Amino acid sequence: MVFPPCLLSLMYEFILLLAFFVAVALIGLLVTRYRQHLRKKAVRRSFETWAIGIYEGTSPVQLHSPSDIANPVLTASDVSDVRARFVADPFMIRVESGYYMFFEVLNDRRNLGEIGYASSPDGKEWQYRSIVLRERFHLSYPYVFSSDGHYYMIPECGASGGIHLYRAVEFPERWERISTIIRGDRERKAVVDPSVIRHGGHWYLFSYGKHRSLHLFVSESLAGPWVEHPKSPVISGTPQFARPGGRVVAHEGCILRYAQDETPHYGSRVWAFRIVELTPTAYREAAASDKPVLEPGNESWNRDGMHNVDPHQQASGTWLACVDGFTIHSAKE
């Protein structure tokens, strides 16, 4: 059967119009479901109160809340330049004058994480200063470190689709993004909670991906190029031990990495693992202790879980660590 040209034209326009309305409907459905996801996430987080404390101990795997420190040392009420819902994910760095700590500040108005900082002369008493980094996407886990005379930060910014490297223009308050060192894989999204260390002439970066997997990347320089390690993912399908939970540190001739336990819920506790072999082609690790490094405490600020630790060795040989903890409030509280 041969259709007249005018009828063919009408049929073609009808098909195009139908495809357009189907596409609009699908986009609307996706947007609605994404908004529902964000709303559920926001509701859950609104019942979580995270705060930051200071622990100490004889080793980076044996830490406790000291009697001479009134924990928590930082809470949302200390944040003075934005309305904060909570503070979490602390990382600190020591300088000649004392300590600087960087952490997530969940901006209640934007419902996004921003990076704030506080200072301390001794690592025990802290004063909140200001927000130092905000983006159009969520920021947390501000992994701060120094290298070659510069201060760097690699925060968690998985919502941007990659892992970004920032450098201090004027430490500690001005930071600039200098590169995207790893772009997210659409299948694995291995860009969550990036944790970096330099070892044996190479840089190594751990990050959390889909399927509860711990991915490992390696590079000869901080700026890259970064490639995925041949043994990566080094952990798969393990919610207890895969997600990074703090700074990767060198200790007694080996390397320690921390993992946050997501069972029975997110942020339950933190475990330590001893990396016994780390080269561009090999990776082996073993549990550093049969007990968690951090677990829920008896105080209101950390009674429901802890999920981040950043330990630093003191001149005396003891360790000082910034940690976080949270409590979950019911709707009636």
Other CB atoms within a 10 A radius of the CB of residue 104 amount to 28
pLDDT exceeds cutoff 70 at 119: yes
Beta bridge partners of 317: none
What pLDDT is recorded for position 253?
86
The residues near 191 (Cβ < 8 Å, ≥ 6 apart) are 157, 158, 161, 162, 163, 182, 184, 207, 209
Verdict on whether the full-model pTM lies above 0.75:
yes
What pLDDT is recorded for position 189?
72
What pLDDT is recorded for position 74?
98
17 confidence band (pLDDT: 50, 70, 90): low
- State the Cα–Cα distance between residues 165 and 191, nearest whole angstrom: 12
pLDDT exceeds cutoff 80 at 66: yes
pLDDT exceeds cutoff 50 at 35: no
- State the Cα–Cα distance between residues 142 and 88, nearest whole angstrom: 10
Least confident of 46-55, 58-67, 322-331: 322-331
What is the percent of the chain where pLDDT is above 90?
77
CA-atom Rg of the chain in angstroms: 23
- State the Cα–Cα distance between residues 153 and 143, nearest whole angstrom: 5
What pLDDT is recorded for position 36?
43
Closest CA to 188 of 217, 166, 168, 208: 208
Mean pLDDT throughout 140-169? 96
Mean pLDDT throughout 268-292? 96
66 burial (CB, 10 Å; 0-12 / 13-18 / 19+) is middle
Q: How much is the mean pLDDT over the chain? A: 89
Is the Cβ–Cβ distance between 115 and 104 less than 8 Å?
yes
What pLDDT is recorded for position 42?
43
Is the Cβ–Cβ distance between 74 and 118 less than 8 Å?
yes
pLDDT exceeds cutoff 50 at 284: yes
What pLDDT is recorded for position 251?
87
pLDDT exceeds cutoff 50 at 299: yes
Q: Higher-confidence residue: 38 or 88?
A: 88
- State the Cα–Cα distance between residues 320 and 71, nearest whole angstrom: 14
Beta bridge partners of 293: none
Question: Could you state, in order of their start, the residue ranges of all structural domains in the chain?
Answer: 1-46, 47-328
pLDDT tens digits for range 228-279: 999 999 999 999 999 999 999 998 888 999 999 999 999 999 999 999 999 9
pLDDT tens digits for range 157-194: 999 989 999 999 999 999 999 999 998 765 567 889 99
DSSP per position, 111-150 = TEEEEEEEEESSSSS-EEEEEEE--SS--EEEEEEEETTE
- What would the two tokens of residue 315 be? 């001149």
Q: Higher-confidence residue: 21 or 239?
A: 239
Is the Cβ–Cβ distance between 214 and 235 less than 8 Å?
yes
Please tell me the CATH superfamily of domain 47-328, with its number: Glycosyl hydrolase domain; family 43 (2.115.10.20)
* Residue 324 dihedral angles phi and psi, to the nearest 5°: -130, 160
What pLDDT is recorded for position 48?
82
* CA 116 to chain centroid: 14
What pLDDT is recorded for position 22?
58
